[in-house]
Structure 1
């Protein structure tokens, strides 16, 4: 019976840590760039866009497709950075827990 109580205590402790890490991740401000910094996208840890900066030199009618591609690339850069940070933070939390390969927390 003590083992079950001890395990339940560890589960509650891990839940509290998980909530803390999730809040920390959500509060992140991640910057992605493309075109050598001509386009900058800011995302929070949830992947929601916080800001977009576009260098005025890109506002040319015949370069609209290039601008669109640069915005997408900057968003992708920020999203990948955010996912890497989140994975790193969660790795510390899940250390010592035998999860199957490819399984991510939170479920």
Structure 2
């Protein structure tokens, strides 16, 4: 029994390391979001860090419209990045879960 616990602990540490590696890799996964009319383009990482924002000059004439574009498109980019992030982390975590009786809800 003690060996089983030690084996599970080792597996959990290994999984934790894989999750950390995945988080680092997600810093390099870029998500692009563009407004329907192409007036604003946003790039974020899968870890939800904004990398770039490109704004068409026509939006600079209307502060309210620019703010609306930023809010809408930043939220879309963050939503996409969150989905990628959660999917990748969950896949690594699920793969490394030890077989603990009664804990098969994660499989």
Is the TM value for this pair above 0.5? yes
Q: Which residue of 2 aligns with 1:54?
A: 55
Aligned equivalents of 2:89 and 2:8: distance in 1? 20
Q: Which residue of 1 aligns with 2:92?
A: 93
Structure 1 residues 51 and 99: alpha-carbon distance in aligned structure 2, compared to 1, 3 A threshold: farther
After TM superposition, the runs of 4+ consecutive aligned structure 1 residues lying more than 3 A away are 96-100
**Larger RCO (CA within 8 A; separation ≥ 6):** 2
Q: Is the 8 A contact 2:27 2:46 kept in 1?
A: yes
Which blocks of at least 5 consecutive residues in structure 1 are unaligned? 101-107
Q: Which residue of 2 aligns with 1:31?
A: 32
Say whether residues 1:9 and 2:10 are aligned partners.
yes
**Number of equivalences:** 99
Q: Which residue of 2 aligns with 1:69?
A: 68
Aligned equivalents of 2:50 and 2:18: distance in 1? 26
Q: TM-score, with normalisation over the residues of structure 2?
A: 0.77
Q: Is the 8 A contact 1:35 1:70 kept in 2?
A: no
Which blocks of at least 5 consecutive residues in structure 2 are unaligned? 98-102
Q: TM-score, with normalisation over the residues of structure 1?
A: 0.77
Q: Is the 8 A contact 1:30 1:78 kept in 2?
A: yes
